[in-house]
């Protein structure tokens, strides 16, 4: 899966750094022009895939899909004690975002009679930025869900009609909402890569994926949104599923983090093109805050600081004695590229025996792992990711959720 020689890793690093600098330099003008929009986030609207889905795919139906195991334990066991449709052992980044804003967890749009007072989650596990017809035309694997970003945007428009009494009312709601436009696009590449498409061919669809994300963001801005967060892609060369898929015996295929260089370079290609497109979007909408969330660097932060992360413990008070429970003492460096729950092998990932399937096993201490099932992260990893994104400087311009929560 080697990249063409003309695609230089160094070039992407330079572009990524320069893009970040431009994004940061534009933050002051974006933030200042948003005026009193900096206060009062009353709702969150989330679009995306399994990184953010809180139960939509479960309600669509997971039978005969690679996500069928999310309907049973051990998914959800850590926080909920039962499967919720979240692709993790507990909470996701979107849940921690809601908590930091002082809002309830977002209910999935497809949950009948759910309370949508504080926002809606439209994300669907397995969803793509591009519609299924695109993959059919390209001769690529067809997504198992039709709930693409375009479809999710349609859901939002339908929802908005049910809660607005007037155009002014809709505008007011949009001004006091945070929009998470992704993570989305990862599955577009996943379907291609796991369908054995070469990396050079998959690279040709990057502009289409980025274009779909930017088109959706632009529609939201035209409808009155003033605060958007658009995440980039993860360093997919560090993910157990991809490490298993490639399984290269060539040491030069891996970087200092034992991640696949070619796949991480590909992820950077997507991220650089996305950031460039966001820069153009900022010029078109100078009164909006359009933030890029650097999932790539936030994830690498975890790998590089796995055993140095802060120790946190919950305290239970009983008869004036403090009992320390549920401590997080950093991730185990031996397990950085292993799934907590899986079917065995060097990375504890088997596409034919996903987490929760017969014959798979789960470690009793998920907080020691970064990866939950070889594709998605553990609750603890998502918590650290969210903290770094919205407090550690990996979102440009920065958005302080706790500050916004105090404005309500």
Q: Which residues are the active-site residues?
A: 50, 373, 376
- Distance, CA of 400 to CA of 231 (rounded, Å): 16
Q: Which residue has the tokens 């792992």?
A: 369
- Distance, CA of 131 to CA of 135 (rounded, Å): 7
C-alpha distances out from residue 218 to 78, 139, 179, 213, 251, Å: 38, 29, 12, 9, 43
φ/ψ region of 326 (left if φ > 0, alpha if ψ in -120 to 50, else beta) reads left
- Distance, CA of 111 to CA of 58 (rounded, Å): 10
Q: At what angle do helices 206-223 and 149-163 cross, to 10 degrees?
A: 10
Q: In sequence order, what are the residues at sequence separation of 6 or more whose Cβ sits closer than 8 angstroms to the Cβ of residue 290?
A: 30, 217, 221, 228, 230, 278, 281, 282
Q: Are 108 and 147 in contact (CB under 8 A)?
A: no
Structure tokens at 34: 């948003």
Q: Which residue has the tokens 């998920």?
A: 366
Q: Which residue has the tokens 């497109």?
A: 277
HSE-up of 165 (CA within 13 Å, CB side)?
A: 1
DSSP 89: S
b/e for 301-331, b at 16 or more Cβ within 10 A? bbbeebeebeeeeeeeeeeeeeeeeeebebb
Q: In sequence order, what are the residues at sequence separation of 6 or more whose Cβ sits closer than 8 angstroms to the Cβ of residue 313?
A: 324, 325, 326, 327, 328
């Amino acid at each position: 899966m080697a990249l063409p020689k003309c695609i230089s890793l160094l070039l992407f690093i330079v572009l990524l750094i320069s893009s970040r600098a431009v994004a940061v330099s534009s933050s002051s003008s974006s933030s200042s022009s948003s005026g009193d929009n900096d206060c009062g986030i009353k709702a969150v609207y989330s679009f995306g895939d399994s990184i953010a889905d809180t139960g939509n795919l479960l309600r669509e139906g997971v039978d005969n899909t690679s996500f069928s195991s999310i309907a049973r334990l051990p998914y959800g066991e850590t926080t909920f004690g039962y499967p919720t449709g979240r692709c993790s052992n507990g909470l996701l980044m979107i849940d921690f975002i809601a908590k930091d804003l002082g809002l309830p967890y977002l209910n999935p749009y497809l949950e009948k009679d759910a309370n949508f007072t504080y926002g809606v989650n439209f994300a669907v596990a397995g969803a793509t930025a591009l519609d299924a017809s695109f993959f059919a035309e390209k001769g690529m694997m067809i997504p198992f869900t039709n709930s693409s970003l375009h479809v999710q945007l349609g859901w939002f428009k339908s929802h908005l009609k049910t809660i607005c009494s007037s155009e002014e009312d809709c505008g007011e709601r949009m001004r006091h909402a945070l929009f998470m436009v992704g993570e989305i696009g990862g599955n577009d590449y996943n379907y291609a890569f796991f369908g054995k498409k070469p990396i050079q061919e998959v690279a040709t669809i990057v502009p289409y994926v980025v274009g779909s994300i930017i088109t959706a963001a632009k529609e939201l801005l035209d409808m009155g949104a003033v605060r958007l967060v658009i995440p980039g892609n993860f360093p997919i060369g560090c993910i157990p599923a991809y490490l298993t898929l490639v399984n290269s015996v060539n040491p030069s295929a891996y970087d200092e983090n034992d991640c696949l260089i070619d796949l991480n370079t590909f992820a950077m290609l997507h991220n650089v093109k996305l950031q460039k497109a966001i820069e153009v979007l900022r010029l078109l909408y100078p009164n909006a805050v359009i933030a890029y969330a650097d999932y790539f660097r936030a994830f690498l932060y975890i790998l590089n600081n796995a055993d140095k992360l802060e120790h946190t413990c919950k305290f239970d008070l009983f008869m004036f004695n403090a009992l320390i429970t549920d401590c997080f003492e950093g991730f185990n460096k031996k397990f950085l590229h292993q799934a907590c729950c899986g079917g065995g092998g060097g990375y504890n990932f088997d596409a034919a025996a996903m987490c929760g399937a017969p014959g798979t096993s789960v470690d009793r201490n998920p907080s020691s792992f970064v990866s939950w099932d070889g594709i998605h992260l553990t609750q603890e990893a998502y918590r650290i990711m969210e903290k770094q994104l919205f407090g550690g400087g990996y979102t440009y311009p920065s958005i302080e959720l706790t500050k916004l929560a105090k404005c309500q």
